[in-house]
A = this chain, B = another copy of it.
Amino acid sequence: MLSDVMEDYLKTIYQIQARSGPPVSTSAVADALEKTPPTVTSMLGNLEDRGLVTREKYKGAELTPEGETVALEILRHHRLLEAYLAEHLDYSWSEVHDEADALEHHISEEFERRVAEALDDPVVDPHGDPIPSADLAPLEDDEATPLTAHEVDDRVVVSRVSDRDRDELEYLADAGITPGTTLEVVDVAPFGMVTVRTGSDAEQSLPESVAEAIYVRPATDAAPAGGSTEVSDA
């Protein structure tokens, strides 16, 4: 019924909207999908005709509830697949994204159910991103903040890590920084360079681009600093 291409547009609009709020500009979608702005304008028109987005001319688009449901369905597929690949097919968390992107449009409802069952209905994927529930209820807003917004001596727990850039993910996997890891901010240098202590006195200096891909929440007093991964291994 809905093409793969349209599903991709809706997923992308959802993700931009979740980050920056509506309206979502033509060029933001174009950048994310590596299409030209006229192509996006044209497709937004199609999505509007189908009642999946609303638009305001020269401003941008916003998902309707129906459009959001489709986006959540695709996102659920994507994140269940990521979790399954990591858990049952020995993928590392830095490898799962591309494979999930390729498969997310082509799995059946039955497959979705069986994968969810095999994983015991997980609520987050290996990057710490929330997995929409089977009823596709809207996700709650996420209170995590980028590591770059924190100050020296803050103690925080990694909530999730943006899965946009494979190289960044591998860098962080090497550094032992995954969802659930407790970090202490040791230093904030010019140009956004952030130094953190993970467990056992190990210190890591992270370039800004990497630090801003790490979303964290305040550490509870009980949690010790270190490489705990209770969230991503759940």
A contact residues vs B (CB 8 Å cutoff): 85, 88-91, 95, 98-99, 102-103, 106-108, 110-111, 114-115, 118
How far, in whole Å, are A89 and B116 apart by their CA atoms in the complex? 10
Q: Is the CB of A106 within 8 A of B108?
A: no
Query: Which of B85, B91, B99, B111 is within 8 Å of A89, CB to CB?
Result: B111
Query: Which of B91, B102, B111, B118 is within 8 Å of A107, CB to CB?
Result: B102
Q: Is the CB of A99 within 8 A of B108?
A: yes
Q: Is the CB of A98 within 8 A of B108?
A: yes
Q: How far is the CB of A83 from chain B (nearest CB, A)?
A: 14
How far, in whole Å, are A108 and B88 apart by their CA atoms in the complex? 16
Cβ–Cβ < 8 Å partners of A91 in chain B: 114
Query: Which of B95, B106, B111 is within 8 Å of A110, CB to CB?
Result: B95
Q: Pick from A89, A99, A111, A114 the residue with the most CB of B within 10 Å.
A: A89
17 contacts between A and B (CB under 8 A): A85-B111, A88-B88, A88-B118, A89-B111, A89-B115, A89-B118, A90-B114, A99-B108, A99-B110, A99-B111, A102-B106, A102-B107, A102-B108, A103-B103, A103-B106, A103-B107, A106-B106
